[in-house]
Amino acid sequence: MRIGIDIGGTHTDGVLIDGDRLIAAAKTPTFSDNLLESISQVLRSILSGQDPGKVSTINLSTTLNTNAIVTGRIEKVGVLVVGGPGIAPETYRIGEHFHLIPGSLDHLGTETTPLDMDRLQAAVADCAGKGVKSFAVVGKFSPRNPSQENTIREHLGNRADFVSSGHLLSGQLNFGRRIHTAYYNSAVWRAFRAFSTALQESLLKFNIRADVNILKADGGTMPLLRALESPVVSIFSGPAASVMGILAMEPTDSDILMLDIGGTTTDIALFAAGQPLLEREGISIDGRPTLVRAIHVESIGIGGDSLIQVEQGVVLVGPQRLGPCMARGGSAPTLMDALNVLELVEFGNSRNSIMGIEELANRHGIPGRQLARDVVDTAINAISTRIDSLITQVNSKPVYTIQEILEDRPITPSKLIVIGGPAVVFRELLQTSLGMEVVIPPLHGVANAIGAALTRSTAQLVLTADTARGKVSIPRLEIFRSVPRSYTLETAINEAKSLLIGDLEQAGVRISAEEVQITQADSFNIVEDFYTTGRNIRVVAQVQPAVTVLLDKVNAGIRIDSGPERQLL
Amino acid sequence: MLKAKSSLGVIFFPAYDWAISETHPEREERLLYTQDQFREEGLFDIEGITEYRPLRATDQDILRTHFCFPSVDGICTESHRISAGGAIQAARLVLERETQHAFALVRPPGHHAMKVVQGNRGFCNINIEAVMVEWIREHYGQKRIAIVDTDCHHGDGTQDVYWHDPDVLFISLHQDGRTLYPGSGFPNENGGPRALGRTMNIPLPPNTSDEGYLHALEQVVLPILADFKPDLVINSAGQDNHYSDPITNMCFSAQGYARLNEMLKPDIAVLEGGYSIKGALPYVNLGICLAMAGCDYSAVLEPDFNPEQLREEPDTMNYIKRLCRQLPDLYFYPKPGAYEKEGRYFIRERDIYYDTDNITEKQREELKDCDDCSGIRIIKSSTHRTGSCLGIELPWNCCPACEKEGYERFKRKNDGFQIVQMLDRKNKQYVYRP
Ligand SMILES: [Zn+2]
Ligand SMILES: [Zn+2]
């Protein structure tokens, strides 16, 4: 049996699944200062009458690290950066303990300026004096040659409790993102480790001896032990869990859209030929782009509780939220109240909704029903505009070969899957305005937890080889070795595949070679003075986000236990 | 995070699956290290710098610019259409005001391709800047356009396309033709009889470095641009002036290129040559992008950059200063050359050599000295491959007499030409004789 838990901003959702059958589902409030309590409540509910010993896997999606970062409750980090020429590394200054260490590499990884050891010593001494114990070490072009990063790491020695080395976090190039990623990784490490220890103790109390995995922003999982090395990859796993839920409940091989409508925001995700689209380089957090691989989810500030305002005759919906809708005791009218007025839904105390909308409409000299109609139109328009721009953006993404331009197939979704609390309410409105088939899966209220339970591991690996210089590098696995001139693209692809499989195996995850996808495989002649001297080979291998099993719909009618207070699911 | 002072669209199209030949400088990996540099620097994470994909130039886009013999497909491949389409995308971004500036970082290049195309010259088949300029005029009206060609080689193709066009100012800065391919681009080449001074050539001596280039820009190019008052400034941004370029002899640096773009402020830049793919392109392209976006580029330095070593000898600098004192007169007070004329027609007869394809084209051009319009142009072109070909060009402001004459020539039968192409800018008809 598998358990999936998604700790969201307001709710924590959990499901128990046996094979492809849903056994139990539960929903409880998230106690942001005691996440373990939320987890315990959900476990108590879904495990009632079950043998916890039969649970083999627990997959957990948590906002712990996301919240820590966006609220600034993070540890101080010594950021040691080796920049060199180009865009000033000052641009990426982050945290209170940011130090630039002179030194540089070029784009081939050749050292062009040696590391300034005196400045390094001074920076480390400064950090030590300020009680900094967690470090991020990042050099420009370090995935091409990690030696300067490694020197710094060695120099830190036991003065550091934890060090994030840039080249180990991702093989992809992007200096600024690498700095941000390493910084956040070190900033959340200690708190995440404490959480992880407490979680394991708590699971023991439930007699659960399952493999524990943490959900990542790309929709895949990683073993808890691995997550302790790179906790940052767990940011924004919530929307990814919902996307994986769609894959488990409504699999398809055509282009579709997902809409997750919540109280304050609506998340939009696009699936091309049934596959969720990933961010090109990585997700941003707190205004900082990172190299954390993530499912591309657009968030728009419109949800059931979005505040209605009228400014100079223009109706505004969201992004503010003052509280729940008036139908549920709120003090100002929201989108949900407008839907109540139009009798598109019968929700809570609709007399309050009518009162609130009429009062606001009167103040601006318009009939109440018209205001309600305008509100709904505005909200639907905003969502459909965002959907259109997402599709345009995806269809105009850069390509680099003539072949890609000639074979290009535009993405044209014709089906919309809507999940989240107010999903049902919007079915017809969206169907009419977007002209798409709208599907609301049963159990859509716990799609996120289902996605968490059924998703599998993901991983990515970047291999770069230069046979003229006789070198191959796979930064994330700390492989930098020499290769013969006969090293070919085919050898590189095979090596990348088997290393990725081996890496996952080491983490306790078994996958077959067919499941490894090669997303880049290029080989360029290196020509010096009109003679070919070798080949420059670039390979990127990945295991795509996917679910282990499709959910059997027979149990779709199962009751979601949401405790004593009945909530809108 | 960094923010661009003026928004920049970058059309980055490395054409990783196309090369002239295995070891030719114009090959797949040419922009590979530039892409590595862009990625590592996070160029597209800068707010206001956005990456776009190229469009694809259609037959009509190419036929409104060139006489293509025997056909469009006969002289260019998909890669050329996409490269030109990259330039068109750059123009579209700027003219639709989606971005303030645009840089088409595309390959293959185009500035050696002339009005008539019978094959590949100097790595170029179709002139991507010219295809872009004609696309602009077709969709946005007859604009005044300045093309400043900073490739190390003389932009002889672009010069040829706009030789008779008074609305396009073409200025080429290049290594002196006595020392480099294609061996042309001297000051006395300054425009056709009806577009005098609208072609300007600035041949710089070998080993010219940052100071010399920027001096020519400041003393010659900028004052002329200030007078011409173009609607658009286009930079043919070749990067083979770089001190590390393997096929030229100049000493320009990434800092120099960036400063040049900061001073020139082109609306659109289009990549041309540049074959030092590891030592120059990653830094030069980064410098140009940052300068066009109004970002700080002061730390964009090649690892082996040594300005003292690259600096011009005093003699070289004196030569450049002397040259730059004389050149502006050719624009402000152009002297008519000794043009051959038969009746009302200016005549030009030339042999044009296509080095890559080893073809020689015989060409005779007749331009009518018409009082009522820019004048019909007739080009007779022949090679051993395509036989006798005829191109008829009617200008955008074509008068009824010239139009009548053009269509009479076009519809004539048994006139001995195997291929005849009409390039009618007035009625937007770009067709071959059936
Ligand atoms: Zn050139
Ligand atoms: Zn005329």
CATH number at A227 reads 3.30.420.40
pLDDT tens readout for residues A426-478: 888 888 888 889 999 888 889 999 999 999 988 899 999 999 889 999 999 99
Residue A246 lies in a domain: no
Same domain, A467 and A392: no
Q: Which of A153, A163, A214 is nearest to A185 (CA)?
A: A163
- State the pairing for strand pair A111-113/A134-139: unpaired
Q: Which of B73, B356, B312 is nearest to B208 (CA)?
A: B312
Single out the residue in A390, A409, A440 at which a domain terminates.
A440
Domain count, chain A: 4
| DSSP one-letter code for A161 | S
pLDDT tens readout for residues A491-524: 999 999 999 999 999 888 888 888 898 988 888 8
pLDDT value for A267: 92
Whats the size of chain A, residue-wise?
A: 569
Residue A223 lies in a domain: yes
Q: For residue B108, give Cα distances in angstroms to A105, B68, B167, B273, B317.
A: 30, 18, 27, 9, 33
Same domain, A305 and A394: yes
As a whole number, mean pLDDT of residues A316-322 equals 85
* pLDDT surpasses 90 at A322: no
- Listed by number, the residues of chain A in 106-165 with a beta carbon closer than 8 Å to a beta carbon of chain B are 106-108, 110, 112, 140-141
Same domain, A367 and A413: yes
| Residues 6+ positions from A311 with CB-CB distance below 8 Å | none
Could you tell me where in chain B the CATH 3.40.800.20 domains are found? 3-332
Residue A261 lies in a domain: yes
As a whole number, mean pLDDT of residues B328-357 equals 91
Same domain, A176 and A231: no
**In A90-177, which ranges are E strands?**
97-100, 104-105, 111-113, 134-139, 162-165
Task: Flag if B15 and A400 touch (Cβ within 8 Å).
Answer: yes
Residue A367 lies in a domain: yes
Same domain, A59 and A85: no
Average pLDDT, chain B: 94
* pLDDT surpasses 70 at A554: no
pLDDT tens readout for residues B359-400: 899 999 999 999 999 999 999 999 998 999 999 999 999 999
Same domain, A505 and A403: no
pLDDT value for A556: 62
Considering only CB atoms, A85 lies closest to which of B14, B15, B300, namely B300
Residue pair A65/A86 in contact by the 8 Å Cβ criterion: no
Q: What CATH number belongs to B3-332?
A: 3.40.800.20
Residue A445 lies in a domain: no
Considering only CB atoms, A141 lies closest to which of B28, B40, B286, namely B40
The catalytic site residues of B sit at 112
Single out the residue in A392, A410, A440 at which a domain terminates.
A440
Task: Flag if B23 and A530 touch (Cβ within 8 Å).
Answer: yes
Considering only CB atoms, B2 lies closest to which of A91, A106, A397, namely A91
Residue A466 lies in a domain: yes
pLDDT tens readout for residues B136-183: 999 999 999 999 999 999 999 999 999 999 999 999 999 999 999 999
**In A168-290, which ranges are E strands?**
211-215, 221-223, 256-261, 266-272, 275-276, 284-285, 288-289
pLDDT value for B222: 98
pLDDT band (50, 70, 90) for residue A568: very low
Same domain, A403 and A493: no
pLDDT tens readout for residues A382-418: 999 999 999 988 888 887 777 777 777 888 998 999 9
A130-151 as b/e: b if 16+ CB within 10 A: eebbbbbbbbbbbbbbbbbbbb
Range of the domain at A28: 2-70+193-239+549-568
| Residues 6+ positions from A197 with CB-CB distance below 8 Å | none
As a whole number, mean pLDDT of residues B310-321 equals 96
pLDDT tens readout for residues A28-48: 988 888 899 999 999 999 999
The ligand placed nearest to the CA atom of residue B405 is: 2
Q: Report chain B residues whose CB lies below 8 A from the CB of A402.
A: 15, 17-18, 78-79, 82
Mutate to test the interface with B, among A82, A93, A107 (most CBs of B within 10 A): A107
Q: Report chain A residues whose CB lies below 8 A from the CB of B42.
A: 87, 174-177, 289
- Report the range of poorest mean pLDDT among A445-449, B91-95, B123-127: B123-127
Q: For residue A172, give Cα distances in angstroms to A91, A222, A463, A536.
A: 19, 19, 10, 16
pLDDT tens readout for residues B241-275: 999 998 899 999 999 999 999 999 999 999 999 98
- Helix, strand and coil percent figures for chain B, each rounded to 5: 30, 25, 45
pLDDT value for A344: 83
Same domain, A197 and A187: no
The ligand placed nearest to the CA atom of residue B398 is: 2
Same domain, A357 and A434: yes
Q: For residue A196, give Cα distances in angstroms to A30, A62, A64, A223, A507.
A: 17, 11, 11, 11, 17
Same domain, A278 and A418: yes
ipTM of the shown complex: 0.92
Same domain, A222 and A289: no
CATH number at A136 reads 3.40.50
pTM of the entire predicted model: 0.92
Same domain, A288 and A387: yes
